[in-house]
């Protein structure tokens, strides 16, 4: 398990204890899909098609919803606010694509952060 994965698991535990937060793992990447056949010790894919996983390139490691109660004209109404959490080791930073994703979430009044530890997650 990588140090980043361990931090992510700790953050998910902290978030899971909060009744107003729900986070899911967002694996981003690319692979190949298609019909496969074993040829010797190798698996060969026939009619391959590109498979993209995750929301988009640069999207955060964890995505989710935070329950928020609206005031004034919508008193008592609860709405879900989009959340994005990028996990990094203590000495690492988000790359430009990840920073852009976080900026877009903020522009739409969502919650987006880069977290380096479970302690940072406690104020989600």
In angstroms, rounded to a whole number, what is the distance separating the alpha carbons of residues 8 and 17?
A: 14
Burial class of residue 101 in the structure, from the number of CB atoms within 10 Å of its CB (0-12 exposed, 13-18 middle, 19+ buried): buried
Q: What percent of the chain has pLDDT over 70?
A: 99
User: Domain 3-28+55-121 class?
Assistant: alpha beta
In this predicted model, what pLDDT tens digit does every residue of 51-108 receive, in sequence order?
A: 999 988 899 999 999 888 777 777 777 778 899 999 999 999 999 999 999 999 999 9
Domain residue ranges in the chain: 3-28+55-121
Cα 11 vs. chain centroid, distance in angstroms?
12
Higher pLDDT, 104 or 1: 104
Residue 124 binned pLDDT confidence (cut-offs 50, 70, 90): low
């Amino acid at each position: 398990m990588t140090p980043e994965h361990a931090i992510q698991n700790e953050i998910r535990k902290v978030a899971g204890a909060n009744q107003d937060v729900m986070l899911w793992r967002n694996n981003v990447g690319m692979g190949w899909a298609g019909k496969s056949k074993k040829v010797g010790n190798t698996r060969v894919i026939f009619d391959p098609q590109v498979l993209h996983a995750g929301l988009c390139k640069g999207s955060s490691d964890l995505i989710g919803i935070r329950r928020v109660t609206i005031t004034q004209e919508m008193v008592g109404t609860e709405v879900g606010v989009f959340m994005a959490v990028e996990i990094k080791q203590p000495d690492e930073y988000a790359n430009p694509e990840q920073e852009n994703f976080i900026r877009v979430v903020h522009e739409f009044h969502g919650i987006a952060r880069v977290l380096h530890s479970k302690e940072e997650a406690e104020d989600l």
